[in-house]
Amino acid sequence: MIRIEIITIFPELLEGPFSHSILKRAQQKGMAEIILHNLRDYSDDKHKRVDDYPFGGGAGMVMMVEPVFNIINHLRSQRQYDDVIYTSPDGELLSQPMANRLSLCSNLIILCGHYKGIDERIREHLVTKEISIGNYVLSGGELAAAVITDAVVRLIPGVLNDETSALSDSFQDGLISPPVFTRPATYNGWPVPPVLLSGNDRLIQQWRLEQSVERTKQRRPELFSDSKQ
């Protein structure tokens, strides 16, 4: 089982994604525990503020170090964590191999960034891993935390109904998935490739590999460059 604790100032933003579909089933099966913590509950300020103006001036607000230290210190007093993750645009780009590694962890903390960012001392002394889900900026780290959690939890054996499904996902072997088809075999004059109806498993697997390679070359050629590094 994996335990993921998410620190956020807007826990209600994450209640929906974690109460449906695969993530809901993972929790019901006891294979994942996803806990939301409201950072404001750990603020020493009487108004429960968690942000302040940046030293040196400039636009935007900065998340304060004290409430973040308070909650992480509290959580660490209860158990050990494999990583304290901060969702940041300048973190390491989330990839399938990274999700595979994280799925082997037992306890993770994800800190959702907000405003102009977090006090740098949090990153220097409390965070152990920074992750970005893409080269763009979001209003907050909650959506990134949901993406990371989904990518990790679905890999835990037993979470998906088909045990081999996650192994055939895009990027697991450095390639994107081949095209897939279902009934009817012909629709509107559009036929399914005959090889998929042949019943010959060897030919089907060969066709799928060829399609994956060709589709990756056409749509994501950088994946070939990454594999050679």
* In the chain, domain spans: 2-153, 170-227
pTM of the predicted structure, to 2 decimals: 0.87
pLDDT over 60 (residue 228): no
Q: What percent of the chain has pLDDT over 70?
A: 93
CATH number of 2-153: 3.40.1280.10
pLDDT over 70 (residue 225): no
Q: What percent of the chain has pLDDT over 90?
A: 83
Structure tokens at 160: 């998906």
Nearest to 150 by CA among 7, 1, 21, 39: 21
Order of strands, sheet of 129-132, starting from the edge strand that comes earlier in the sequence? 32-38, 2-8, 107-112, 83-93, 129-132
User: Mean pLDDT score of the chain, rounded to an integer?
Assistant: 92
pLDDT over 70 (residue 170): no
CATH number of 170-227: 1.10.1270.20
pLDDT value of residue 222: 87
Distance between CA atoms of residues 136 and 89, nearest Å: 7
Interval 101-157: pLDDT, tens: 999 999 999 999 988 899 999 999 999 999 999 999 899 999 999 999 999 999 999
Distance between CA atoms of residues 225 and 229, nearest Å: 7
pLDDT value of residue 148: 98
pLDDT value of residue 14: 95
pLDDT over 70 (residue 162): no
Interval 19-54: pLDDT, tens: 999 999 999 999 999 999 999 999 999 999 999 999
| Alpha helix stretches (DSSP H) within 117-187 | 120-125, 142-153
pLDDT value of residue 114: 87
The CA distances from residue 137 to 58, 116, 133, 174, in Å, are 18, 11, 10, 26
Q: How far is CA 7 from the centre of its chain?
A: 15
Extended beta strands in the chain, E state: 2-8, 32-38, 51-52, 62-63, 83-93, 107-112, 129-132, 186-187, 190-191
pLDDT value of residue 191: 96
Structure tokens at 206: 């060969």
pLDDT over 60 (residue 197): yes
pLDDT value of residue 165: 55
What are the b/e assignments for 58-72, b being 16+ CB within 10 Å? eeeebbbbebbbebb
Structure tokens at 210: 């060829």
pLDDT over 70 (residue 91): yes
pLDDT value of residue 161: 72
